[in-house]
Amino acid sequence: MISLRPIAWTVSLILGLIFVTAWALLPALESEPELRVFLFSGLGITMLGMVFTFPAVTGKSSIGLLVFGAILLRILLLPSPVSDDVNRYLWEGKLVSSGENPYLSTADDPRWMERRDIYWEGMNHRDRPTAYPPGIQWIMAGTASIHYHPFSFKILSVAADLLSLLLVIIILNRERFPLRWAGFYAFNPVILIAFAAEAHFDSLMIATILGALMAAKAKRLLPALFLLALAVQIKFIALILLPLFLVPDTGNAGKTIKHVATILPAFGVFLLMLIAPSIPFGDGLISWIRGTSDFAGNSAFNGPLFTFFSVLGANELLVRALCYIVFFVGFTAVCIARIRGLALAASSGIALTLLLICSPIVHFWYLAWILPFAALRPSFGWTTASITMAVYFLAWRTQAVHGWWGFQPEVSLFIWIPVFCAFLAQNRHLPARIAYFLKTGRQSKARNDLGIVIPVIAQGARSEALVERLGNELPAGTQIIIADASQQLGRGNQIAAGISKLDTDWVLVAHADTISAQGWYQNLMLAIEAHPEAALMVLGQRFDKVSPGTLLVEILNELRVVFGGVAFGDQTMVIRRSALDSLGGFPAQPLMEDVEASLQLDKRGPILYLGHEWSVSAVKWNDNFGLRFLTVIRLVATYQFTRLKGPTEAAKCAEKLYTQYYK
């Protein structure tokens, strides 16, 4: 049988290669801004294609395919013109390697007259003090000494970028998430253009932050803080992560005391790493601080909150004050959540998200700070931003037409309004989830036993075959409940009745026509161990007979879970019992029980897609595919709209839809 996934993935890759080749052929950054908007957004769409049509390979094959696609795209971008920031990297690197202190004067100071060259000519903002920290100055000096050419920084940037990709893959594997989620980083247009094309050094900061997170996860605080200090020396914004790294991952008093004792030498290393590279620049550090504050405090361009407040007509000073307040309140909440048990990676991603949203200046490559976290936990908002950020390149059209670089805040709305809508859609239940988290704290890892419920119309060969397959991997004595439709009307009522007979921490609901994936139980137990806070885990769905139509259904179902938090029963749901009980139990309704359960469980914890898909029969899609496809969309849309009127109306709607569906 021909598999359509490799074909679809290859087509997506080829389109991506066409887009990056066209980008690389453009002679200068300011050339063809409208075409750049098309190419950038096209790359964002092909990224989605490459992630959601990823072939059914695992392990080393999966990693090999990700790395192959990532390297190929980056190689084709290498001829692209670099950012004019690279001119400053080279020129300041030359100063440092010559024993000079770039913090003493601005680049246009006459004292540097003899140091001027073609890269000095190509620099921007020569009248402003440099804002780059001492650590990156030494890195720039070393790179410029090896080869005084922009390509040397491109190699450095891409090397750190690929290292970040490998670290993302390692973390995904440890967290038991699908490795293909690394495609949100590997194939992202922001990452590709920022590093392989324009050679920004932010990739070095990203790699060191990811390394610090891995070290902290392994409870190696000293190397974690060393790497975090290195990240701060590369880009100062990494400093906001320090409070989160200093919080222990446990509320146990004895372990907390031990953690504090470990902090002292690790924090000493952190301070040493901050101080030592700065000593040779001592007489210019005040100027550096002034340059950093000048960059952050006296400029504004494309900041999300800044854009919205500005369009509303608020005074610039008031806008800055509001952004500072939002960041302070939000970051305080993140720190409290971290103390209450929020994972370090999650809290770090949220902190950087807050920083970016509240920043007055957001260049397109700033999104790269967030995208590794958006690969670890796919984000509808940041994925949307990776497409809409294409509008950024119209800044060069403004320069060509009006003589100044940038665009009005109203133009930024085309970038940020879709992003905020996507964030709201994915996180619509976040306030309820936060309230529940603050009330209960991090979930215990005790027991973690599993019970199985299989709803059937009538017990027969299919359900017996599934029970036999499950029994091959389940521990002896595992409870399996066959919920027969002869006793309960509708699948939701069957499942609710079946769950009431179980006394387990987790419940797996499997349809009788599914075929379990090899090694599913071990993978699931590792995921439960890693994510006890999850309210619902979704294993995923693949049809036993693939056609263009069923492939489309697979992709849309996966998109809906990953970005919308709504699962279908065909995707095999694994529910945390404590979360379900806090909601009053499984929705006892004849239809849309899976949708209702997903929407309710999203209020109690994350809904995680594990990507360890089970095979599902495609028989019901064989006839009248188009009619069935439209019917399912209509039923789900009708139910979700009716839910807005209240639970009573939703229950009536479920009864009505059941009659229509099974007529």
How confident is the model over 595-615, as pLDDT tens digits? Answer: 999 999 999 999 999 999 999
Q: Is the pLDDT of residue 536 over 90?
A: yes
Q: In what order do the strands lie in the sheet with 514-515?
A: 514-515, 614-616, 541-543
For the chain, what percent of residues have pLDDT higher than 90? 69
Report the interhelical angle of 380-388 vs 409-426 (nearest 10°): 150
Q: Specify the pLDDT at position 66.
A: 96
Q: Is the pLDDT of residue 258 over 70?
A: no
| pLDDT band, very low/low/confident/very high, at 559 (cuts 50, 70, 90) | very high
Q: Is the pLDDT of residue 317 over 80?
A: yes
Among 126-130, 133-137, 183-187, 658-662, the least confident range = 658-662
Contact (Cβ atoms closer than 8 angstroms) between residue 332 and residue 238:
no
Among 65-69, 319-323, 556-560, the least confident range = 319-323
Among 9-18, 109-118, 290-299, 400-409, the least confident range = 290-299
Q: Specify the pLDDT at position 251.
A: 46
Q: Is the pLDDT of residue 254 over 50?
A: no
Tokens 């590279």 belong to: 277
How confident is the model over 286-295, as pLDDT tens digits? Answer: 888 877 777 6
| pLDDT band, very low/low/confident/very high, at 329 (cuts 50, 70, 90) | very high
| pLDDT band, very low/low/confident/very high, at 107 (cuts 50, 70, 90) | very high
The span from the CA of 231 to the CA of 235, in Å, is 6
Average pLDDT (204-210) is 98
Q: Is the pLDDT of residue 253 over 60?
A: no
The span from the CA of 105 to the CA of 103, in Å, is 6
Q: Is the pLDDT of residue 198 over 60?
A: yes
H-state helical runs in 59-116: 59-77, 85-97
Q: Is the pLDDT of residue 166 over 90?
A: yes
Domains identified in the chain and CATH numbers: 4-427 (no CATH), 449-661 (3.90.550.10)
Q: Specify the pLDDT at position 461.
A: 65
Bridge partners (DSSP) listed for residue 361: 301, 302
**Does 357 or 131 have the greater pLDDT score?**
357
Q: Is the pLDDT of residue 367 over 70?
A: yes
Residue 477, Cβ density class (10 Å: 0-12 exposed, 13-18 middle, ≥19 buried): exposed
Q: Specify the pLDDT at position 663.
A: 66
| pLDDT band, very low/low/confident/very high, at 443 (cuts 50, 70, 90) | low
Q: Is the pLDDT of residue 179 over 90?
A: yes
Contact (Cβ atoms closer than 8 angstroms) between residue 369 and residue 206:
yes
Q: Specify the pLDDT at position 487.
A: 65
Average pLDDT (191-210) is 98
The span from the CA of 270 to the CA of 370, in Å, is 23
Contact (Cβ atoms closer than 8 angstroms) between residue 165 and residue 69:
no
| pLDDT band, very low/low/confident/very high, at 434 (cuts 50, 70, 90) | confident
Average pLDDT (619-646) is 89
Q: Is the pLDDT of residue 231 over 80?
A: yes
* Residues in Cβ contact with 304 at an 8 Å cutoff, skipping those fewer than 6 apart: 356, 357, 358, 362, 412, 416, 419, 420
The span from the CA of 265 to the CA of 281, in Å, is 25
Determine how β-strand 536-538 pairs with β-strand 573-576: antiparallel
| pLDDT band, very low/low/confident/very high, at 624 (cuts 50, 70, 90) | confident
Contact (Cβ atoms closer than 8 angstroms) between residue 441 and residue 344:
no
How confident is the model over 573-594, as pLDDT tens digits? Answer: 999 999 999 999 999 888 999 9
| pLDDT band, very low/low/confident/very high, at 263 (cuts 50, 70, 90) | confident
Contact (Cβ atoms closer than 8 angstroms) between residue 333 and residue 325:
no
Average pLDDT (296-324) is 86
CA 474 to chain CA mean position, Å? 33
- State the amino acid at position 600 in one-letter form: Q
Contact (Cβ atoms closer than 8 angstroms) between residue 525 and residue 504:
no
Tokens of 84: 């004019």
Q: Is the pLDDT of residue 360 over 60?
A: yes
**Residue 475 DSSP SS3:** coil
Tokens of 615: 């095979």
* Residues in Cβ contact with 411 at an 8 Å cutoff, skipping those fewer than 6 apart: 391, 394
